[in-house]
């Protein structure tokens, strides 16, 4: 067995973390990547809201698909999870999960360790309860009964969402205004994250063993996954060293708790365990020159893929080029006061509405203008839409309201609106961008922009609004 096996696995885990989070410029800009690639699910646990995330978390996508089950079936999400499960199973947990790497690094801190026992083995079934309740039941309930996408696990538990998403965004000075949006929910999740992190120091991969619903999904494929550790029955003498030295709550090699990390290969005195993909041996106790050659080739290809991903997401992706073009010098004086900040005149725009009309900002001069950025998958957005409808009904002759849906569309917006009784105009932001850039929109929703009768911005904030706040803003804008 190669003595550097553990280091190789750590490097592959680090490689996966970099590949999943190739959009490093997100940490500089303080914004979430929203290009077309973001719709693709990565295999491991990685928060969609991480500024560097180049793909979607399969668990978050699964919850969103279940929340939409009353209107459409998320065949893509279920299909990709089945593909990952059939191909790799929980090998993803052992080799391709950034959160798994973080847990293992925390466990390396020198402290007394909690050995596995009957209690930990019983607790390992908790993740299936969390899968059933927070990943399946909560999104389906809110999706069907309340027409809201509420990803229960992401919203109430997920430590990756807190660490990668919330902390990752809040750490950027450009997002200082986000702190005003924090509430008791963030505080609770932050405490949960600290508790899980602390427990991982004393108990090996605590999150994976007791909480992770994605691991629970992949464990369902333990008997049929193509890749995984296999035992050579002709060599095995049943000594049990593999199970005794495993940090997970396994009963035998390759069962539903096995993450196929390969540590059992190192401790097996009979050299009876190897990592295989069907009949192809990927890693074995005995060195093999041909296998090492193919390993080097695969490593070279993998590094080329990572290099391309880093260059693409940080420099070449068309979505990062969507910046407003600078005005010509001759127009500088005229447009000097244009901008999205309070006190500036918002740049003119037009956008087609879902009812076939066109909303032009220039035609609304003399009226108070309210722009709402929202999405069907944003629970707070859906909850506050009636507030804008009520405001419009109360001041219909003196106000213009436009609700612009995020360009990241997961539901049929027209179908969603058909079930509602709204009179305000709705529009969907085109992928090439329009309103979003002009008002400084982001993936943090909802966002409300209020203009006075002269088109001057008096309010531009992310976060939910109340009827009282909207009425107050209208009074201020109306003069």
Q: What is the pLDDT of residue 180?
A: 62
pLDDT tens sequence across 101-136: 999 999 999 999 999 999 999 999 999 999 999 999
Sheet holding 399-405, edge to edge: 426-428, 399-405, 368-374, 447-451, 457-462
User: Over the range 59-95, which residues count as b (16 or more CB within 10 Å of their CB) and which as e?
Assistant: bbbbbbbbbbeeeeebeebeebbeebbeebbbbbbbb
Q: What is the mean pLDDT of residues 260-276?
A: 94
Q: What is the pLDDT of residue 332?
A: 38
Q: What is the mean pLDDT of residues 196-217?
A: 97
pLDDT tens sequence across 427-458: 999 877 789 889 988 777 899 999 999 999 99
Q: What is the mean pLDDT of residues 274-300?
A: 91
pLDDT tens sequence across 54-85: 999 999 889 888 877 655 556 888 999 999 99
Q: What is the pLDDT of residue 479?
A: 82
Q: What is the pLDDT of residue 261?
A: 95
- Specify the length of the chain in residues: 479
Q: pTM for this structure?
A: 0.78
Q: What is the pLDDT of residue 324?
A: 46
What six digits make up the tokens of 301?
């290809």
Interacting residues of 348 by C-beta distance below 8 A, sequence separation 6+: 360, 361, 362
Say whether pLDDT at 325 is over 50: no
User: Average pLDDT of the chain?
Assistant: 89
Q: What is the pLDDT of residue 181?
A: 64
pLDDT interval class at 329 (50, 70, 90)? very low
Say whether pLDDT at 174 is over 90: no
- The fraction of the chain above a pLDDT of 70, given in percent, is 92
Rg for the chain, CA atoms, rounded: 26
444 or 253: which carries more pLDDT confidence?
253
Cα–Cα distance measured from residue 449 to residue 428, given in angstroms and rounded to the nearest whole number: 16
Q: What is the mean pLDDT of residues 232-256?
A: 96
Q: What is the pLDDT of residue 286?
A: 84
Q: What is the pLDDT of residue 335?
A: 44
Q: What is the pLDDT of residue 328?
A: 43
Q: CA torsion sign, 173 to 177 to 183 to 186?
A: negative
Question: 371 - beta bridge partners?
Answer: 402, 449
pLDDT tens sequence across 339-390: 999 999 999 999 999 999 999 999 999 999 999 999 887 878 888 999 999 9
User: Over the range 237-246, which residues count as b (16 or more CB within 10 Å of their CB) and which as e?
Assistant: eeeebbbeeb
Q: What is the pLDDT of residue 376?
A: 85
Helix (H/G/I), strand (E/B), else coil: 350: strand
- Phi/psi of residue 70, nearest 5 degrees: -75, -15
Per-domain boundaries in the chain? 5-311, 336-478
Helix (H) or strand (E) holding 352: strand 350-352
Q: What is the pLDDT of residue 126?
A: 98
User: Domain 336-478: which CATH class?
Assistant: alpha beta
Q: What is the mean pLDDT of residues 176-182?
A: 69
């Amino acid at each position: 067995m190669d003595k550097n096996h553990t280091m190789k696995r750590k490097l592959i885990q680090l490689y996966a973390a970099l590949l999943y989070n190739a959009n490093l410029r997100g940490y500089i800009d303080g914004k979430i990547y929203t290009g077309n690639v973001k719709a693709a699910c990565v295999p491991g646990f990685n928060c969609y809201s991480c500024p560097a995330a180049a793909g979607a978390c399969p668990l978050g996508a699964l919850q969103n698909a279940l929340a939409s089950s009353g209107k459409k079936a998320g065949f893509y999400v279920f299909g990709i999870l089945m593909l990952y499960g059939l191909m790799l199973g929980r090998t993803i947990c052992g080799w391709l999960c950034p959160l798994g790497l973080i847990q293992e690094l925390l466990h390396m801190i020198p402290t007394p360790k909690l050995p596995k026992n009957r209690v930990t083995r019983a607790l390992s079934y908790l993740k299936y309860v969390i899968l059933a309740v927070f990943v399946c039941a909560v999104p389906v309930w809110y999706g069907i009964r309340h027409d809201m996408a509420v990803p229960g696990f992401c919203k109430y538990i997920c430590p990756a969402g807190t660490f990668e998403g919330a902390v990752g965004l809040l750490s950027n000075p450009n997002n200082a205004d986000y702190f005003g949006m924090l509430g008791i929910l963030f505080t609770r999740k932050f405490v949960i994250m600290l508790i899980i992190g602390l427990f991982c120091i004393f108990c090996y991969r605590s999150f994976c063993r007791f909480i992770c619903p994605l691991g629970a999904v992949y464990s369902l494929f333990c008997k049929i996954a193509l890749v995984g550790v296999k035992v050579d029955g002709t060599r095995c003498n049943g000594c049990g060293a593999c199970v005794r030295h495993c940090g997970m709550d396994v009963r035998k090699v390759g069962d539903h708790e096995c993450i196929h990390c390969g540590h059992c290969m190192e401790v097996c005195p009979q050299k009876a365990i190897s990592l295989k993909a069907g009949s192809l041996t990927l890693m074995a106790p005995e060195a093999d020159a041909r296998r090492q050659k193919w390993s080097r080739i695969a490593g070279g290809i993998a590094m080329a893929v990572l290099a391309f991903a880093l260059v693409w997401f940080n420099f070449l992706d068309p979505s990062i080029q969507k910046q407003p073009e600078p005005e010509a010098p001759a127009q500088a004086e005229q447009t000097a006061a244009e901008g999205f900040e309070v006190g500036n005149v918002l740049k003119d725009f037009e956008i087609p509405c879902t009812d076939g009309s066109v909303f032009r900002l220039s035609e609304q001069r003399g009226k108070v203008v309210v722009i709402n950025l929202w999405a069907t998958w944003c629970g707070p957005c859906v909850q506050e839409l009636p507030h804008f409808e009520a405001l419009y009904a109360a001041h219909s002759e003196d106000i213009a309201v436009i609700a612009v849906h995020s360009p990241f569309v997961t539901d049929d917006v027209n179908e969603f609106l058909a079930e509602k009784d709204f009179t305000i105009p709705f529009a969907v932001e085109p992928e090439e961008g329009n309103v979003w850039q002009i008002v400084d929109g982001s993936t943090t929703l909802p966002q409300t922009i209020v203009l006075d009768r002269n088109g001057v911005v008096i309010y531009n904030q992310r976060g939910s609004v109340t009827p009282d706040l909207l009425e107050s803003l209208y009074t201020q804008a109306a003069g």
